[in-house]
Amino acid sequence: MGSFIVRRLIQTLLVTLALSFVSYSLMGLMPGDPLDIACQANPHCTPENLVTMKKTLGLDQPVYVRYGKWLAGIAQGDLGYSRTYRLPVTQILGPRLVNTLFLSGTSLLLSLVIAIPLGVFTSLRPNSKFDYSLNMFAFAGISIPAFWLGLMLIIVFAVKLNWLPAGGTETVGLDAEMGLFEAAFDRLKYLILPVTSLSLLTIAFWVRYTRAKMIETMRHDYVRTARAKGLSEQRVIYMHGLRNALIPVVTVVALGISGIFSGAVITETVFAYQGAGKLIFDSILANDYNVAMCSFIITSFLVLFMNLIADVAYAYLDPRISYA
């Protein structure tokens, strides 16, 4: 088990490294060069100046040399400087990541609490009316474009009904004197719509999966044995059925975390929620490469790391699997 974790950890780091190199090279292929833009804004800048500037900044060197330097900087904790925010990247990224973790965490928790009980409940009444409608709902949930769902929620609950804010993270210009409880309530108001739009897909997916796995598990011989022993139906379902059915669900939940993080980019953009995902998107549009690179790579690393944790949890939960 120990060596398995080490191996997976090394693999995760290697993938992150490869990803950072690929995205570093791709940044050079994006439209708009920050130096060209700066030069165009300055009437005293001649093409010769531009060449000299690129030379002094080392931009005439091949990609791998520049990447090496950039990586060395990262290793020393220097994530670079943001062109648009005029701040070191570390200062911008920190609070944004906290916001994203907040959004994704809430969505994950909500999805788990709703999807798994619902999946188990409906699996015990296969082909009932409830099961049928839930199945329809789940299909709609996996087929709906998340950004569009967000737009619809805004139209209904923010524009027409005016119940909730259309976007943002917290009320701007709020007094610092406001109590902790009020501040939390304010944040919550801004979270409701994004979390709803982010969770629906996950819930739909997990309900279907939990239901399928639960029905499959309840067909096993050991469930029949448990019934034959005269155990109560409750005990059969929860101790013998559910516990076994949940093992594969763990993997799917872990993949779902990646999905939530990924979907958060779109949700954050639709709701103007100040998270790391919106930061990736905004900084790419603004040619702010340092910010784009760091927020992208850190987000990806977090996702890869959560996948690793899920793999370990899976190996731990299912004694039939050994990762010697």
Partner 1 sequence: MSSNATLAVAAHAVSPVEAKDPRAKSMVRIAFEQLLEHRIAVLSLGVIALFCGIAVFADVIAWAMNLDPNAQDILNRYGEFSREHWLGTDEAGRDVLIRLVYGTRVSLAVALLTTVSATIIGITVGSVAGYFGGFIDTVLMRVTDSLLALPTIPVLIIMASIDFTKIPWLGGVVPSDMVSIVKMVLVLMVFSWMTQARLVRGEVLANKDLEFVLAARTSGLSSGAIILKELLPNVLSPVIVSVTLSVGSAILYEAALSFLGLGIQPPTPSWGNMLNNAQELIYSAPWLAVIPGILILIVVMAFNFLGDGLQDALDPKAIKR
Taking CB under 8 A as the criterion, the residue among 281, 314, 317, 323 binding partner 1 is 281
- The burial of 129, by beta-carbon neighbours within 10 Å (0-12 exposed, 13-18 middle, 19 or more buried), is given as exposed
Dihedral sign from CA coordinates of 111, 154, 288, 65: positive
Q: Which amino acid is at 52?
A: T
Identify which of residues 244 and 296 has a Cβ nearer to partner 1 in the complex: 296
Nearest Cα neighbor of 295 from 104, 82, 150 is 82
Taking CB under 8 A as the criterion, the residue among 58, 117, 126, 145 binding partner 1 is 145
Is residue 197 involved in binding partner 1 (CB under 8 A)? no
Is residue 11 involved in binding partner 1 (CB under 8 A)? yes
Identify which of residues 102 and 183 has a Cβ nearer to partner 1 in the complex: 102
Taking CB under 8 A as the criterion, the residue among 48, 75, 127, 159 binding partner 1 is 159
Is residue 151 involved in binding partner 1 (CB under 8 A)? yes
Taking CB under 8 A as the criterion, the residue among 5, 15, 192, 212 binding partner 1 is 15
What's the 3-state SS for the chain?
Answer: CHHHHHHHHHHHHHHHHHHHHHHHHHHCCCCCCHHHHHHHHCCCCCHHHHHHHHHHCCCCCCHHHHHHHHHHHHHCCCCCECCCCCCEHHHHHHHHHHHHHHHHHHHHHHHHHHHHHHHHHHHCCCCCHHHHHHHHHHHHHHHCCHHHHHHHHHHHHHHHCCCCCCCCCCCCCCCCCCCHHHHHHHHHHHHHHHHHHHHHHHHHHHHHHHHHHHHHHHCCHHHHHHHHCCCCHHHHHHHHHHHHHHHHHHHHHHHHHHHHHHHHHHHHHHCCCCCHHHHHHHHHHCCCHHHHHHHHHHHHHHHHHHHHHHHHHHHHHCCCCCCC
Identify which of residues 101 and 183 has a Cβ nearer to partner 1 in the complex: 101
Taking CB under 8 A as the criterion, the residue among 265, 274, 275, 290 binding partner 1 is 265
CB of 238 to partner 1, least distance (A): 28
Query: Segment near partner 1 (CB under 8 A), from 85-93, 225-233, 244-252, 265-273?
Result: 265-273
Identify which of residues 90 and 262 has a Cβ nearer to partner 1 in the complex: 262
Taking CB under 8 A as the criterion, the residue among 261, 275, 290, 291 binding partner 1 is 261
Is residue 269 involved in binding partner 1 (CB under 8 A)? yes
Taking CB under 8 A as the criterion, the residue among 206, 263, 274, 275 binding partner 1 is 263
Of 239-258, binders to partner 1 (CB under 8 A) are: 258
d(CA 138, CA 16): 34
Taking CB under 8 A as the criterion, the residue among 152, 184, 239, 321 binding partner 1 is 152
CB of 261 to partner 1, least distance (A): 5
Is residue 31 involved in binding partner 1 (CB under 8 A)? yes
**How many residues sit close enough to partner 1 to count as binding (CB under 8 A)?**
45
Query: Segment near partner 1 (CB under 8 A), from 13-21, 106-114, 120-128, 233-241?
Result: 13-21
Residues that bind partner 1 (CB under 8 A): 11, 15, 18-19, 23, 26, 29-31, 139-140, 142-149, 151-152, 154-155, 159, 166, 258-259, 261-263, 265-266, 269, 277, 280-281, 284-285, 292, 296, 299-300, 303-304, 307
